[in-house]
Chain A
Amino acid sequence: MVVFDKPHALNDMPFHYCPGCTHGIIHRLVAEVLDELGIEGRTIGIAPVGCSVMAYDYFNCDMIEAAHGRAPAIATGVKRSDPENHVVFTYQGDGDLASIGMAETVHAAARNENITVIFVNNAIYGMTGGQMAPTSLPGQVTQTSPYGRDVNHCGYPIRVCEMLAQLEGPEYLERVTVNSVKNIRAAKKAIKKAFQNQLDGKGFSLVEVVSSCPTNWGMTPQAALKWIDDNMLPYYPLGVYKDRSAAKEETK
Chain B
Amino acid sequence: MAKLTFKTDYCKGCGLCVDACPKKLLQLAKDKINKKRHHPAEITDEAACVGCASCAMMCPDCIIKVER
Contact = CB atoms under 8 A, between A and B. Distances in A.
Interface of A: 1-6, 10, 14-15, 17-25, 27-28, 180-181, 184-185, 220-222, 225
Contact of A2 (B14, B16, B62, B66): B66
B62 A28 contact: yes
Contacts of B13: 19
B26 interface: no
Nearest to B22: A181
Contacts of B20: 181
Q: List the 6 closest A-B pairs by CB distance, nearest first.
A: A24-B60, A20-B14, A19-B12, A19-B14, A4-B53, A4-B66
Contact of A20 (B16, B57, B63, B66): B16
B14 A221 contact: yes
Interface residues of B, number: 26
A17 to B, nearest CB: 7
B1 to A, nearest CB: 12
A83 B14 CA distance: 41
A20 B60 contact: yes
B62 A10 contact: yes
A59 to B, nearest CB: 12
Contacts of B58: 25, 180-181, 184
Contacts of B14: 19-20, 221
Interface in B45-62: 51, 53-54, 56-62
A4 B64 contact: yes
Nearest to A58: B62
